[in-house]
Structure 1
Amino acid sequence: MKNVFIVAGLAIFLSMGIIHHIPCAEAKEKVLRIGMAKEPAKLNPVFIPGIYGEAVAGNIFDTLVSYKENASMPTPLLASKWEISEDGKEYTFHLREDVKFHNNEKLTAKDVKFTLEAIMDTANASPSKEFFEPVERIETDGDFIIKLHLKNPYAPLMLALGSHTAGIMPADHVKQVGMDAFDSHPVGTGPFIFVEWLPDERIVLKKNPGYFLAEPAIDKVIFRPIPKPEVMAAEIESGGIDIAQNLLPQDISRLEKEGNLNVMTIAGLGNSYLGFSYKKAPFSDPRFRKAVYHAVPFDAAIKGIWKGVGERSYSWIPDGVFPFDTEYMKSRALPHDKEKAEEYFNELKKEGILQDGFEFSIYTSQNPHRVKIATVVATELRKYGLKAKVESLEWGTLFPILKNDSGCYIMGWGSVPDPDRWTYKIFHSGSTMNFSKYELPEIDEALDLGRSLVSSKQRGEQYIKVMRKALGEDYIHIPLVFKSVTVVTGKNIEGFTPSPQDYFHLVTEKRNVTVN
C-alpha cells in the first residue's frame, strides 16, 4: 500500500505544478573499442602507406565513390552521380550539396581538386601518386561539378577514387595548417571526427552527428594498437576490446569453441611474400633467389604457420580476381630440394658472388606470421653457411629501409579486386612500393597497357605476362600465402561485417554498427 500512496502523491504534485521535471538516468555513452594489429603510420590520406592507416581514415574521410559494401562496384558517396565520356578519357562527377567537413566548412569541388592534385604533386611523395598518373588535369565547373581529364583510358580510376587514400580534405584548412600538421589532426567529412592520437596507445574518434548518410549509432571509437596476437586474444576475451583482428589460429579455434564471442571468417584480399633486391648482390642473382626457394620447405612451413587463416599462394593475383592463371603459376613454384639449393649456392661461391658466412638481414613487420616464416627462412639458410638475422620492425622504421633497398624482406599487400592494384604498385619501376627495385621495360609496358586497355581479356593478358616473368622466371618474389580474414567481436556488437582488406566499415549506406 505504501508504494500506491507514493505514486498517488507524485500524481497530485505533478497536477499542481509543484514538480515540473523528474530527471531520467543519462543515456550511457556507446563506445566501440577496436584492437588493431599495428598502429597506422599516417592519417593524412595523401601520406597513408598501408591498410592500418586506411582502416582508420575510412571512418574520418569520405571519397567520391564508395566500395565499402561492394568491393568490385562503385556506389555514390560524395559524388551523387557521374558520367564517363565514350572515349574513356573524361570523368564528370556531380557532388552532393549537403556535405560539411568536421570544421563546418562546406564541401565543394575545389576541395576535391585540391586533394587529388595533392596526391599527384611529386613534392608530397604520396604512395598513391602512381594510381593517378594517367590524369592529365582536373577542373571544376561551379561549386559542385568536378572533371578529370585523362591522357589515356584508365580502367582502375574509379578504384583509385574510392580508396581510403583518396579521402577528400578541406582545401582552405589544409593550406592554413600545412600537410604535416594535418596528419596529426585530420579533418574530413566522414561519420567520425578525430579527437586524439596518443602514439602506441590509442586513436580516439567521436561521432559526427551531422553525417549525411546517417547519424552514427556509436558515440566514440577507440582504436588500440595491439601488435601481439596473444595479447589481442586476451583483450577480446576479457572485454578490454570489442573487435579483434589478426589472431593466432589456436586462439581463433579456442574462442570459437567457447562460444562467448562472435567469430567471423571471410576470404581475404591480403598476401605475404618473400622479396629480394633486383640490384643488390647476391640477391640480384636469380640463382641466389632460386637457391633460397629450394632451401626452405615452404609448403610445410606455410601450412604450420598459417593453418586455418591462410592458403599457399603462387601468384600476386588472388583467386577470384582476374586473370585466372593459378595452375600455371603453381607449376612454376620451386620444390624443397636441398641438393639443388647446395648446387646454386656453391656456384655463386665459386664465382665470388657469395661469400662463406655471408651475413644479411631479413626485414619484416611485427606481424607474427611473417616473423615466424622469416625465422624459418633464416634457420634453414644457416644449414648452407648463410647467417641471416630476422629484424622485425614497426612500420615507421621499416618503410624507409625497404624504400632504400633492404636486400631481403618479407612483406604483404592488401587491396581491391582489380589486378592493377596487385601489380602496378609492386612491380612498376616508378612505384615507391617496388621494394625489390625490379626494373624491366617489358614489365613497365605491360603494366601501363593493363591500365589503358578497356577489355578485361586484353588487360588480363598483360597481367599474366607480368606474373609469369616476375615470379615464374625471375623469382623476384616468393609468394607465400593469401590469408583469410577472421574478426572476433563481442556479443554486444551489432551490424559489423569483416572486410576482405581488414578495414572497419562502421557507417555505410547499408549499415550502422552499434554497441548494445
Structure 2
Amino acid sequence: MKKLFITLLVLASFTLGLCPGVSAGEKVLKIGISKEPAKLNPVLIPGIYGEALAGNIFDTLISFKESASTPAPCLAKSWEITQDGKQYTFHLRKDVKFHNGQPFTSADVKFTLEAIMDPANASPSKEFFAPVDRVEAVDDYTVTLYLKNAYAPLLLALGSATSGILPKEPASRVGMDAFDRHPVGTGAFMFVEWLPDERIVLKKNPDYFLTTPHLDKVIFRPVPKPEVMAAEIESGGLDIAHQMLPQDISRLAKDDRLNVMTIPGLGNSYIGFSHKKMPFADVRFRKAVYHSVPFDAAIKGIWRGVGERAYSWIPRGVFPEDTQYMQKAALSHDPKQAKAYFDELKKEGFLKEGFEFPIYTSQNPYRVKIATAVATELRKYGLKARVESLEWGTLFPILKADSGFYIMGWGSVPDPDRWTYKIFHSGSSMNFSKYELPDIDKALDLGRTLVGADKRGEQYKYVMRKALARDYIHIPLVFKSVTAVCSKRVKGFEPSAQDYFHLVTEKRNVTVE
C-alpha cells in the first residue's frame, strides 16, 4: 500500500506540473516514451528509442528531419560527390559549438565516423559504413570520405541520428560508455540528467546555430503501459503521448483539449526464427507456425486502426514495390497443413511432443498480444510456448546470441538498404535469425553499389522473395501507423514516420502555451 501511495504521489506531482527541477514560468514539454532508450551515445545506439531522443542532443552532417528522402544541410552547409560515387566532400559550418563550448571542426567528424567504424566499439551502425575506406580532415572545416566502392545509401547513413557528431574531446578522454551517460552534442537541447525508469531531462541550447529553441526544457518520461500513457495525457501529466491502445486513441480523439495526429509509419513488427537452432531452423517448422495462426484476424484485432497487414519487409511506397507478389506468397491459415508439418517433424525426431520454448519479445503491448495469440494457437499442436516480454537492455543480448523464436520490429528511412541489410546480411549484429547465405549477402552488397533504382530494386526483390516467400525466415505482421496525441497547448509539433521527436528543425520550433 505504501509503494502504491508513493507511485500515485509521483504521478500526481507530474500531473500538477510540479516536475522536479522545473522553475515557474519555464516552457516545459513533457513527452511520454513507451520505452527507455538503451543508449544515447549515437555510436552505441541500437534502436529507435535512443534515435528518437538523440536527434535533439546531436546534429548530423546532413538532415532528413523535414524530408525522409531529401537531405538538407545541417552541420555540413554543402557537399560534393565525385562522378564515380567514391568520394564525398563536406564543407562544414564555422559557427557551431558543442554544448561544452568547444568549437565544432572536421576533427570531430573524423573522430565520430572512425568511432562508428572501429570494431572495438561494436557500433550497431558499423555495417552502414563498411564501404568507407578512410575519412580525411582536409582542413578545419572540410571533410572527405573515400569509399572502396560506390555506395548509394551513404547520405542516409550520415543523416541518421546514429551518426550524430560527438566532440573528440571529451568523448575520446572518457570513453564511449561513460560518454553515453553524459552526452554532449551540438543539438538544440543539452543533456541535464537521466534517472533510469523515471525521466531524461534536456534543456535548451541558447547558442544553437539554427535558431534559439522556444522550449526551455524537455522531459522524456518512460511510460511502458499504454493505458497509463493514455491516462497521463488525459490528465495533463504529459503534453505528447504515443504508442497507445486503439480504444484509448478513439476516446482521446473526442477530448477537445487534445489533438490526435495519425500518419503512415515506417515501422513494422514481425516474427523471426533462428536459421541455426533446431527445430526453428527447419523450414517446415516455420511454415507450420505460419499456417497455424489466423494472422489476418489476429492482426486486425490487435492493431485495429493503427496498422495494416504486412507481407514484406519493405513498406508500400518504398521502392521496389513488390506487395502484390509478396501477398500471393503469404501462407494462409491452414490447421490441417500445420499439423502435417508438425507431425513430420515429430516422426523424424526433430520435434518432441510437448516441446517447450520461449517466444522472446519486447514490452511493446502489441507484440506481447500477438506473441500470446501465437502461443495459444501452438498449444493446439502440442507445443508449449511461453511469452518472455523483456526490457531492451535484457532482450538485445539474448537476440544477438540466437534466441530461436522472437517477435520484434524495425523502423527506418525510405530506402530498401536500411530495411534489409541490417536484418538479413550475415555481417550484421541485428541479424537475429543468423540467416547467413552467400547469395543474400551478394544481393545486399550489390544493392548498395549499383546506380539506378531499377537495378538496385532487382536485388532487394530477390532478397525478400527468397527470405520471406521461400525460406520463411520471418513472418511479416504489420506496418504500423504513427499516432501522436498532443495537448492543444503544444504548437508546431508533427509526428514523424519513424516515431522520432523532431522539436527544432530548419522549418519548425516546437513550443507550449
TM range (shorter): over 0.9
Q: Distance in 1 between matches of 2:256 and 2:325?
A: 42
Q: Aligned match of 1:107 in 104, 108, 113? A: 104
* Residues 31-51 of structure 1: per-residue CA shift (max 9 Å, x gap): 000000100000010000011
Q: Distance in 2 between matches of 1:295 and 1:87?
A: 50
Q: Aligned residue for 1:513?
A: 510
Q: Aligned residue for 1:137?
A: 134
The correspondence of residues 362-441 of structure 1 with structure 2, limited to 5 A, is 362-441=359-438
SS of match in other structure, 2:100: coil
Question: Aligned-pair distance for 1:176?
Answer: 1.6
Q: Aligned match of 2:65 in 59, 64, 68? A: 68
Q: Aligned match of 2:444 in 444, 447, 457? A: 447
Question: Aligned-pair distance for 1:172?
Answer: 1.6
Q: Distance in 2 between matches of 1:370 and 1:259?
A: 31
The residue identity in structure 2 corresponding to 1:368 is: P
SS of match in other structure, 2:381: coil
SS of match in other structure, 2:234: helix
Q: Distance in 2 between matches of 1:259 and 1:303?
A: 28
Alpha-carbon RMSD across the aligned residues, in angstroms, is 0.7
Question: Aligned-pair distance for 1:259?
Answer: 2.7
The answer as to 2:231 corresponding to 1:234 is yes
Q: Aligned residue for 2:46?
A: 49
The residue identity in structure 1 corresponding to 2:447 is: G
Q: Aligned residue for 1:259?
A: 256
Q: Aligned residue for 1:16?
A: none
Question: Aligned-pair distance for 1:260?
Answer: 2.3
Query: Is the radius of gyration larger for structure 1 or structure 2?
Result: 1
The answer as to 2:469 corresponding to 1:488 is no
The residue identity in structure 1 corresponding to 2:384 is: K
SS of match in other structure, 2:410: strand
Q: Aligned match of 1:294 in 267, 291, 295? A: 291
* Residues 242-289 of structure 1: per-residue CA shift (max 9 Å, x gap): 000001000001111233200000000000000000000000000000
Q: Distance in 2 between matches of 1:96 and 1:271?
A: 36
Question: Aligned-pair distance for 1:175?
Answer: 1.4
Q: Distance in 2 between matches of 1:179 and 1:271?
A: 30
Q: Aligned residue for 2:347?
A: 350
* Residues 12-32 of structure 1: per-residue CA shift (max 9 Å, x gap): xxxxxxxxxxxxxx9710000
Q: Distance in 2 between matches of 1:154 and 1:129?
A: 14
The residue identity in structure 1 corresponding to 2:414 is: P
Q: Distance in 1 between matches of 2:171 and 2:257?
A: 45
The residue identity in structure 1 corresponding to 2:117 is: M
The residue identity in structure 2 corresponding to 1:323 is: P
SS of match in other structure, 2:249: helix
SS of match in other structure, 2:25: coil
Q: Aligned residue for 1:457?
A: 454
Q: Aligned residue for 2:29?
A: 32
Q: Which runs of 5+ in 2 are unaligned?
A: 1-22
Q: Distance in 1 between matches of 2:217 and 2:47?
A: 24
The correspondence of residues 16-31 of structure 1 with structure 2, limited to 5 A, is 28-31=25-28
Structure 1 outlier segments of 4+, above 4 Å: none
* Residues 203-224 of structure 1: per-residue CA shift (max 9 Å, x gap): 0000000000000000000000
Question: Aligned-pair distance for 1:177?
Answer: 1.5
The answer as to 2:85 corresponding to 1:88 is yes
The residue identity in structure 2 corresponding to 1:94 is: H
TM-score, length-scaled by structure 1 = 0.95
* Residues 55-91 of structure 1: per-residue CA shift (max 9 Å, x gap): 1100000000000000000000000000000100000
Q: Aligned residue for 1:10?
A: none
Q: Aligned residue for 1:470?
A: 467
The correspondence of residues 328-343 of structure 1 with structure 2, limited to 5 A, is 328-343=325-340
The residue identity in structure 2 corresponding to 1:504 is: F
SS of match in other structure, 1:32: strand
Q: Distance in 2 between matches of 1:499 and 1:296?
A: 32
Q: Aligned residue for 1:21?
A: none
Q: Distance in 1 between matches of 2:59 and 2:325?
A: 40
The answer as to 2:65 corresponding to 1:79 is no
Q: Aligned residue for 1:7?
A: none
The residue identity in structure 2 corresponding to 1:190 is: G
The residue identity in structure 2 corresponding to 1:297 is: P
The residue identity in structure 2 corresponding to 1:501 is: Q
The residue identity in structure 1 corresponding to 2:503 is: L
Q: Aligned residue for 1:6?
A: none
The residue identity in structure 1 corresponding to 2:205 is: N
Q: Distance in 2 between matches of 1:258 and 1:205?
A: 29
Q: Distance in 2 between matches of 1:299 and 1:115?
A: 45
The alpha-carbon distance between structure 1 residues 337 and 107, as it changes in their structure 2 partners (threshold 3 A), is same
Q: Aligned residue for 1:19?
A: none
The answer as to 2:166 corresponding to 1:169 is yes
Q: Distance in 1 between matches of 2:402 and 2:340?
A: 27
The answer as to 2:321 corresponding to 1:324 is yes
Q: Distance in 1 between matches of 2:364 and 2:240?
A: 18
The residue identity in structure 2 corresponding to 1:285 is: D
Q: Aligned residue for 1:152?
A: 149
The percentage of counterpart residues that share the same residue type is 76
Aligned residues: 491
Q: Distance in 1 between matches of 2:495 and 2:224?
A: 19
Question: Aligned-pair distance for 1:179?
Answer: 1.1
SS of match in other structure, 2:144: strand
SS of match in other structure, 2:486: strand
Q: Distance in 2 between matches of 1:484 and 1:219?
A: 30
Question: Aligned-pair distance for 1:112?
Answer: 0.1
* Residues 209-240 of structure 1: per-residue CA shift (max 9 Å, x gap): 00000000000000000010000000000000
Q: Which runs of 5+ in 1 are unaligned?
A: 1-25
Question: Aligned-pair distance for 1:408?
Answer: 0.2
